[in-house]
């Protein structure tokens, strides 16, 4: 890609950690929403994708992952499509099996980590103990002489949120994230399903370029033409640029999570590529 076509893009930040340590609550606090209340049994079972616009108009894309042990594959995927991982550790519970699993996914993906020590409002909270236990997994935070950033937060009391955002922005600046918005879009499937009313639907994270209504595309072994783009607030939009998560309608079938999406010149070309990929 020509250097002069690259423009700054928002960071993609994946929230990871053990079940019920407060990942979705933290995102709710940042977004002013109440997703947790709508979840069956209070358990996240999919990857949520959201974009937050900050006071200075800059944006951060967040992916919320499940902490339940059954969803290892989603956590691995979350770590692999992101720029930064925020590891949420409940200060009362400390390091738990999926905390450690998330550390390992993050290291395997080679992505920088910020530790959010949550639930510091509880009497039983022991953030220092969390910092010490992280050492055992070679996550060395600043107070322990390392360079991993950490911040004490309470999603419940909305404490430490500005400090967390600041650390994310600082880390993002170091990464110098850029993409060319003025080209045919490429993206990655975050999730896909067959919706009763709407047919095949996929949540796409746009990696580069701008995805537009009417674009013809190939995604994994499926193809299609964008009939509608829906943002994280359920609004229909006309286009989605780099680092934006968006639901697409107009798919020939349900692609697989992790599949790459590519805009192509016409439908004949789309079918050709899709059939080739499907091995027809
Ligand atoms: P999974 O997605 O199922 O892994 O859980 P999660 O990490 O998203 O946790 P969730 O946001 O569902 O919160 C779990 C419980 O912890 C809920 O009852 C929250 O109200 C509570 N909780 C979250 N953050 C805080 C906090 O800062 N303080 C206290 N006291 N409770 C919190
Ligand atoms: Na939960
Ligand atoms: Mg959750």
Tens of pLDDT, residue by residue over 55-102, are 899 999 999 999 999 999 999 999 999 999 999 999 999 999 999 999
Lowest mean pLDDT among 25-34, 155-164, 206-215, 269-278: 269-278
* CA atoms within a 13 Å half-sphere pointing along the CA-CB vector of 7: 10
Q: According to the model, what pLDDT value does residue 103 have?
A: 98
Q: Is 118 annotated as a binding residue?
A: yes
Q: What is the pLDDT confidence band of residue 279, given thresholds at 50, 70 and 90?
A: confident
Pocket test for ligand 1, best of 15, 19, 20, 154 (most atoms within 8 A of CB): 20
Question: H/E element holding 1?
Answer: none
pLDDT, averaged across the chain: 96
Q: Is 180 annotated as a binding residue?
A: no
Could you list which residues have their CB under 5 Å from ion ligand 2? 20, 42
Pocket test for ligand 1, best of 14, 25, 70, 88 (most atoms within 8 A of CB): 25
Q: According to the model, what pLDDT value does residue 201 have?
A: 98
DSSP for residue 103: H
Encode pLDDT of 96-151 as tens digits.
999 999 999 999 999 999 999 999 999 999 999 999 999 999 999 999 999 999 99
Q: According to the model, what pLDDT value does residue 276 have?
A: 86
Integer Cα distance of 168 and 78 in angstroms: 17
Q: According to the model, what pLDDT value does residue 271 have?
A: 86
Q: Tell me how far the alpha carbon of residue 144 lies from the centroid of ligand 1, in angstroms.
A: 27
Q: According to the model, what pLDDT value does residue 277 have?
A: 82
Encode pLDDT of 182-210 as tens digits.
999 999 999 999 999 999 999 999 999 99
Give the closest ligand to the alpha carbon of residue 164: 1
- Of the candidates 7, 3, 50, the one whose C-alpha atom is nearest the C-alpha of residue 179 is 7
**Pocket-forming residues, ligand 1, beta carbon under 6 Å:** 17, 19-25, 36, 42-44, 66-68, 118-119, 121-122, 154-156
Instruction: Taking residues 228-252, report their average pLDDT.
Output: 97
Give the closest ligand to the alpha carbon of residue 67: 1
Q: According to the model, what pLDDT value does residue 52 have?
A: 96
280 has pLDDT over 70: no
* CA atoms within a 13 Å half-sphere pointing along the CA-CB vector of 262: 14
Pocket test for ligand 1, best of 22, 26, 66, 89 (most atoms within 8 A of CB): 22
Instruction: Taking residues 176-185, report their average pLDDT.
Output: 97
Q: Is 14 annotated as a binding residue?
A: no
- The C-alpha R_g of the chain, in whole angstroms, comes to 19
Q: According to the model, what pLDDT value does residue 155 have?
A: 98
- Of the candidates 136, 99, 97, 98, the one whose C-alpha atom is nearest the C-alpha of residue 117 is 99
248 has pLDDT over 80: yes
Integer Cα distance of 258 and 256 in angstroms: 6
Q: Is residue 189 exposed (0-12), middle (13-18) or buried (19+ Cβ within 10 Å)?
A: buried
Q: According to the model, what pLDDT value does residue 1 have?
A: 72
């Amino acid at each position: 890609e020509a250097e002069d076509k690259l423009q700054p893009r928002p960071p993609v930040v994946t929230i990871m950690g053990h079940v019920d340590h407060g990942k979705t609550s933290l995102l709710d606090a940042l977004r002013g929403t109440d997703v947790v209340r709508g979840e069956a049994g209070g358990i996240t079972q999919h990857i949520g994708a959201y974009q937050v616009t900050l006071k200075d108009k800059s944006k951060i894309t967040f992916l919320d992952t499940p902490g339940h042990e059954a969803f290892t594959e989603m956590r691995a995927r979350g770590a692999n499509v992101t720029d930064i991982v925020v590891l949420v550790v409940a200060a009362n519970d400390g390091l738990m099996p999926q905390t450690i699993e998330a550390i390992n996914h993050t290291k395997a993906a080679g992505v920088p980590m910020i530790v959010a020590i949550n639930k510091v409002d509880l009497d039983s909270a022991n953030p220092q103990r969390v910092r010490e236990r992280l050492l055992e997994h070679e996550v060395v935070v600043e107070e322990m002489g390392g360079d991993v950033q950490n911040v004490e937060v309470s999603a419940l009391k909305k404490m430490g949120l500005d400090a967390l955002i600041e650390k994310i922005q600082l880390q993002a600046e170091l990464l110098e994230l850029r993409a060319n918005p003025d080209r045919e879009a490429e993206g990655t499937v975050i999730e896909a399903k067959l919706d009763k009313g709407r047919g095949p639907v996929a949540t796409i994270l746009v990696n580069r370029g701008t995805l537009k209504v009417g674009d013809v595309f190939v995604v994994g072994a499926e193809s299609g033409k964008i009939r509608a783009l829906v943002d994280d607030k359920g609004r229909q939009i006309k286009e989605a640029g780099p680092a934006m998560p968006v639901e697409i309608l107009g798919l020939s079938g349900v692609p697989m999570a992790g599949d790459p999406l590519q805009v192509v010149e016409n439908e004949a070309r789309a079918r050709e590529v899709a059939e080739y990929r499907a091995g027809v």
